[in-house]
Amino acid sequence: MRFVGKSGVRQFFEINFNTMSVTYFNVSEIIQNANLVIAFGNEEFTMAGRDDALAQKWVQIYTVENGLITRMEEFATSADEKSYLVVQ
């Protein structure tokens, strides 16, 4: 999904607050480089209408200009680490 502008931010949070019950939300690392802030983490939540919990790892990239977040991107996977190659 893509959320654009102030109305998109409002829609993003309305969807999350109205459809998700968060079990945990962990930020494991934050990196800042120039005007980018990159956060790594994981979460588990249940969605309205579902009984099973959904867990995923994610990376969020924030672009900051003049002290304001102007862009946010999120990349997430719910795949078990055993099902894909992890380089350590």
pLDDT of 88: 65
What domains, with CATH codes, occur in the chain? 5-78 (3.10.450.50)
Per-residue pLDDT at 21: 93
d(CA 76, CA 35): 22
The pLDDT value given to residue 84: 67
pLDDT of 78:
82
**Confidence at residue 80, expressed as pLDDT on a 0 to 100 scale:** 76
* Angle subtended at Cα 43 by Cα 40 and Cα 46, rounded to the nearest 5 degrees: 155
3-state SS of 20-87 is: EEEEEEEEEEEEEECCEEEEEEEEEEEECCCCCEEEEEEEEEEEEECCEEEEEEEEEECCCHHHCCCC
The mean pLDDT values, 10 residues at a time, for the chain of 88 residues are 87 88 96 98 91 92 96 89 68
Instruction: Give the pair of three-digit tokens for residue 23.
Output: 């079990």
